[in-house]
A and B are shown apart, each in its own frame.
Chain A
Amino acid sequence: MQYRKLSTFIHYGATRQSGFTLVEVLVSLALFTVVVVAAIGSLYTVNQASTRVNAMRTVLDNLTFATESMSRTIRTSQHIVCGGVANNSGLSQNCPLGNVNGGGNAISMNSTIDGTAIEYVIGNNIQTGLGEIDKCILVNGQVTSTSCVAITAPEVNINITKTKFYVDGADLSDSKQPSVMMVIEGEANAGAGNTAPFAIQTLISQRAVE
């Protein structure tokens, strides 16, 4: 009796054990893997994207700063000279669009705020070889090795053949208010081959009446 009962129990128990079959477990594992890979993949992508977006934002902020800073300095200056100190005294201070010598890669001026002589120079960074815009404080009318500082970030690669200052009206005889057309072209680099080209064009009119 006892034996039969046990046997019956075992018998029933064996049929009632409703676990997962091997196939079910395999299928659910596979599904789980697919879901987790997709989720982690998307998290990774989002993380990468946010890093790049942040980097690009910083670069663009720097570019805004550089443009605004130059605009402000030029606006509050006088005696603007296209070509800067490298310009020989015999040449015109002007280099407007359409001129044979149209556009200069340097520009110098005197601040009307504190009288400082300032020069902006477009050139290549000695170390990285990338294009940048430097702001130089002139000492006795000369650019010294320690007086220049880059105002564009290393992530901004300025196109030095296309970036130019076009000065018009700076000659005293032309009875025109001095103005500087500024063209800045280049590429903002946020790393990992993520670049954004830009072309900025603006005009600045000297505030002090000539």
Chain B
Amino acid sequence: MKQQQGFTLIETLIAIFLLTLTVGGLLELAAGGFYSVRYARNQLVADALLQESLEYFHNSRDTAVQNTIDWPTWLASFNVDSSGTQIQGSAGQGCFSSNGCIVDPYATNQKVKACSSTCAPIVFYTSNDLYGYTSSTYPSQNGQTLNTASPTTYVRTITLQQSSPDQVTIVSKVQWLNGSAQKSTSQSILLTRWQ
């Protein structure tokens, strides 16, 4: 009886625990790789959406130059409410508020709208292969109507800050969910008065 010396329960448990840890760690590493690939792909899409919003402002300013719209009028066009209507009288609203605004360069009208507390997420219209917003109307493409949009987790927030009367800083931030983790990317450009 005394000679029967196997492993004790504790020893066995420790051995199994260590083994699980090793194998689990390795698999975790592999899963981490796939996670980072998904992150890289989502970041690629987010960066493109980020660039889209900043280029819209660039394009809007240069178009204003061609149409001889003056700087204050152009700036005031981003002082909008949540339906995209320009607010007269009180400044510092819409894109100038801390909640920021959304831009939708391809909407038929009301391309800039103020966000209430958080901005509406971007949706993807699979019929027209278009990233946009559910609240916008789009021109019909080759007679095709938009189908139901599939949701995405991308949220794009734009804020305008006027550091001096002659220049405006446009900050764009895109947030999205990678699995359950919140990721974000942001960029800003400085536009100056042209005349």
Residues from 17 to 64 in A contacting B, C-beta threshold 8 Å: 18, 35, 38-39, 42-43, 45-46, 49-50, 52-53, 56-57, 60, 63-64
Tell me the count of chain A residues lying within 8 A, CB to CB, of chain B.
48
Contact B129 A42 (CB under 8 A): no
Which chain B residue shows the least CB distance to A188?
Answer: B41
Q: If A57-B37, A67-B48, A98-B139 touch, does A183 touch B129 (CB 8 Å cutoff)? A: yes
Find out whether the CB atom of A200 lies under 8 angstroms from the CB atom of B141: no
The 9 closest A-B pairs by CB, nearest first: A98-B139, A53-B33, A49-B30, A177-B62, A205-B59, A202-B48, A203-B52, A205-B58, A205-B55
Residues of chain A lying within 8 A (CB to CB) of residue B114: none
Please classify the interface of chain B as helix (H, G, I), strand (E, B), loop, or mixed, using the class held by over half of its residues: helix
Query: Does A127 touch B at the CB level, under 8 Å?
Result: no
In the complex, whether B124 has a CB less than 8 A from a CB of chain A is yes
The residue in A43, A179, A181, A207 that gathers the most chain B C-beta atoms within 10 A of its C-beta is A179
Q: Are A181 and B106 in contact (CB under 8 A)?
A: yes
Interface contact B63-A45, CB-CB below 8 Å: no
A contact face: mostly helix, strand, loop, or mixed: mixed
Which B residues between 64 and 88 are near A, CB-CB below 8 angstroms? 65-67
Nearest-Cβ distance from residue A7 to partner chain B, whole angstroms: 23
Interface residues on chain B, size class: 35 or more
- Chain B residues at the A interface, C-beta cutoff of 8 Å: 3, 19, 22-23, 26-27, 29-31, 33-34, 36-38, 40-41, 44-45, 47-49, 51-52, 55-56, 58-59, 62-63, 65-67, 105-106, 108, 124, 129-131, 138-142
Complex partner residue of B59 from A35, A50, A177, CB under 8 angstroms: A177
Does any Cβ of B come within 8 Å of A199's Cβ? yes
* Pairwise interchain contact B66-A177, C-beta atoms closer than 8 A: yes
Residue A209 lies at the interface, judged by CB distance under 8 Å to chain B: yes
Let me know if A38 and B51 touch, CB within 8 A.
no
Some 26 contacts from A to B, beta carbons below 8 A apart, are: A18-B3, A38-B19, A38-B23, A39-B23, A42-B23, A46-B30, A56-B40, A60-B37, A60-B40, A60-B41, A97-B139, A98-B139, A103-B141, A176-B63, A177-B63, A177-B65, A179-B55, A181-B52, A183-B130, A185-B129, A196-B37, A200-B48, A201-B48, A201-B130, A203-B51, A209-B66
